[in-house]
A and B are shown apart, each in its own frame.
Chain A
């Protein structure tokens, strides 16, 4: 039978780990964005050597499961790298999520950069503006507007994916729930709380996304 008092009792235990999940999500999003922008700019300008290299990395990252990447780094690469061996589980999770989501974000950013028509760039060139001025003052402000909604979707995906951190022993929402469940064996109540916690988080950010999309659509 569903134990209501236990369910209520578990809520704060799980919810107090929301900051850990958010910490992983925010740190990973920051680095994923950085990676995404670098890869997108390389693709946009088709920089020799780097372009095929980043294409390969993106293809490999997008074509393999996140769990496999996580295990490959934390248990595989760690055998040969002291740097990885010395990483805390949270750092390893953030690193893998940054690369994985960065690969997806790079496609959104590349698409947004490409969405700015060549005519505007030609007009800027004909006025004597430099390449740097064109990218910073004309292309990027417009690309950001196009890229923000899909990037926000990537951020939401990242929050959900961060639940894999428990596999490396990180005490996030899922980690706390697993520990609680292994003690009480009341997995139904425990994971129901987990589902609610993620649902509240994702719905909250979903509302922000809707407002953001509206703002972007009305920007200019």
Chain B
């Protein structure tokens, strides 16, 4: 039990009257696990990820991360802020702060959320940028970086707050094919290090290689949950088989 870093219980998300995107989602993520969420477009994968840090507020259900537990029906601003401190997210569109250089992007939350002093934050940011292979571009503004470089800075930024869990929302979907590999390599290295992560992706071979567990989502539910071998190599669910064969084309 103590190994469980993330626990999602009976999570629902309804956008408009009757438009239920997430239907009774429950799962747990253990420390050092890399969980990939796959599934057809529009099945609620990104919504689920956004509900985990309350960028999208769920309609019903409980999200727990570390010691923090938030009930969608009775949550406070303070609880949400605490929940967010336990995770960090890497977005499809990178979402770097355009008015800050690469290193300033990485330092920002260290200064404002962790209240580190500038020198300490700078040194740590340099270390993180080195880790993602971006130290030589530390003084560049996002507008001067390629998509792949921006995403690597975004990964370093997400790591800056020492999150228990990293959430990746289709991190390579907005990239030109030439930049995909460098970002996937960076994520793969993190997974190897034992960083706990939940990753929404359409890159099935990547999910197969990196994830220790794969969730298949279909029509707002988790339709299959298992190891990459069970889900990708030997799929039992007919919808999953159909999805995988479509992705292979």
Chain B interface size range = 20 to 34
Q: Which residues of B in the span 109-134 have a Cβ within 8 Å of any Cβ on A?
A: 109, 112-113
Query: Which residues of chain B are near A130, meaning CB under 8 Å?
Result: 81, 112
Supposing A128-B85, A128-B113, A220-B141 touch, asked if A123 and B97 sit within 8 A by C-beta, the answer is: yes
A126 part of interface (Cβ distance < 8 Å): yes
**Shortest CB distance A122–B (Å):** 5
The contact size tier of chain A is 20 to 34
Asked whether A126 lies within 8 Å of B108 as measured between CB atoms, the reply is no
Nearest CB on A from B198, distance (A): 13
Q: Which of B29-37, B86-94, B237-245 contacts A (4 or more CB under 8 A)?
A: B86-94
| A130 to B96 alpha-carbon distance, docked (Å) | 17
Chain B residues closer than 8 Å to A119, beta-carbon distance: 91, 93-95
| B98 at the binding interface (Cβ < 8 Å) | yes
Query: What is the chain A residue whose CB lies nearest that of B53?
Result: A126
From B110, which residue of chain A is reached at the shortest CB distance?
A127
In Å, the complex CA distance between A96 and B113 comes to 43
A142 to B100, CA, bound (A): 10
Residues from chain A with Cβ under 8 Å of B154 in the complex: 123
B7 is an interface residue with CB less than 8 A from chain A: no
Q: CB-CB < 8 A to B98: which residues of A?
A: 120, 142, 220
Q: Counting CB contacts under 8 A, is B84 at the interface?
A: yes
Q: Pick the contact of B161: A125, A127, A137, A141 (CB < 8 A).
A: A127
Report yes or no: A128 in contact with B97, Cβ–Cβ below 8 A: no
Chain A-chain B contacts (Cβ-Cβ < 8 Å), number: 68
Q: Is A203 an interface residue (CB 8 A)?
A: no
Closest to B85 in A: A128
* B157 CB within 8 Å of chain A: yes
* A126: contacting residue among B89, B96, B100, CB under 8 A: B89
B247: interface (CB < 8 Å): no
Question: Residue B55 at the A interface, CB < 8 A?
Answer: yes
Indicate whether A78 reaches chain B with its CB closer than 8 angstroms.
no
Which residues of A lie under 8 Å from residue B158 when comparing CB positions? Answer: 126-127
Task: Flag if A127 contacts B84 (CB, 8 Å).
Answer: yes
A73 → B minimal CB distance (Å): 40
- Chain A residue numbers with a CB within 8 Å of B19 are none
Whether A129 is near chain B, meaning CB under 8 Å from some CB there, is: yes
**CB contact between B157 and one of A125, A127, A137, A220 (< 8 Å): that residue:** A127
Expressed in whole angstroms, the Cα–Cα distance for A38 and B147 within the complex equals: 37
Chain A minimum-CB-distance residue to B167? A126
Contacts of A220 in B (CB 8 A): 98-100, 141, 143
Measured CB to CB, the nearest residue on chain A to B86 is: A128
Is B96's CB under 8 angstroms from A123's CB? Answer: yes
- Residues in B neighbouring A219, C-beta threshold 8 A: 99
Nearest-neighbor residue (CB-CB) of A126 within chain B: B89
Complex Cα distance, B109 from A67, in Å, reads 50
B81–A126 touching, CB < 8 Å? no
CA distance A138 to B111 in the complex (A): 13
- Asked, given contacts A129-B112, A137-B112, whether A124 binds B97 with beta carbons under 8 Å apart, the answer is yes
Of the residues A120, A125, A145, contact of B97 by C-beta under 8 Å: A120
How many angstroms from the CA of A128 to the CA of B96 in the assembled complex? 15
Contact of A125 among B84, B93, B94, B143 (CB under 8 A): B84
A124 to B87 alpha-carbon distance, docked (Å): 12
Within 8 A of A (CB), among B210-244: none
Which residues of B are found within 8 Å of A127, using beta-carbon distances? Answer: 84, 88, 108-109, 113, 157-158, 160-161
Contact check, B95 vs A123: say whether CB atoms are below 8 A apart: yes
* A126 with B143, Cβ < 8 A, contacts A133-B112, A138-B97 known: no
CB-contact partner of B55 in A117, A122, A129, A145, under 8 A? A122
Could you jot down 17 A-B contacts, CB within 8 Å?
Answer: A117-B95, A120-B95, A123-B91, A125-B55, A126-B84, A126-B167, A127-B84, A127-B88, A127-B109, A127-B157, A127-B158, A128-B81, A128-B161, A129-B109, A133-B112, A145-B99, A219-B99
Q: Which 5 A/B pairs are nearest by Cβ-Cβ distance?
A: A119-B95, A123-B95, A127-B109, A126-B89, A128-B113
